[in-house]
Amino acid sequence: MKFYVDTSVWGGFEDREFSEWTIPFFKQAQQGKFVIVLSDVTIMELQKAPELIRELTTSIPPEFMELVNITDEQLALADKYVQEGALEVTYGEE
């Protein structure tokens, strides 16, 4: 089983409101009960996170992590959505 884990889930590890669920989730990931899918975008966003959260990504054995990279095609599709008004750029706007 694989789970895509975005930045908010990683950050939830340290958040009192969500740690009840995220701490056991990451412990299971460390034990290899499933694979965490991590995107290059999430890695970039986590560089700004507190040290504990950045270190959490390295606490999971590499064989239980899968890195995916955003493609030019995906970026072009996202730009098209914004141009057509289906989405608005509200975070990470450059």
The amino acid that residue 84 corresponds to is: E
pTM confidence score: 0.73
Quick: pLDDT tens for 38-89.
998 899 899 989 999 999 999 999 999 999 998 899 889 988 988 998 877 7
Q: Rounded CA gap, 91 and 94, in Å? A: 9
Q: Where are the beta strands (DSSP E) in 5-70?
A: 35-39, 65-68
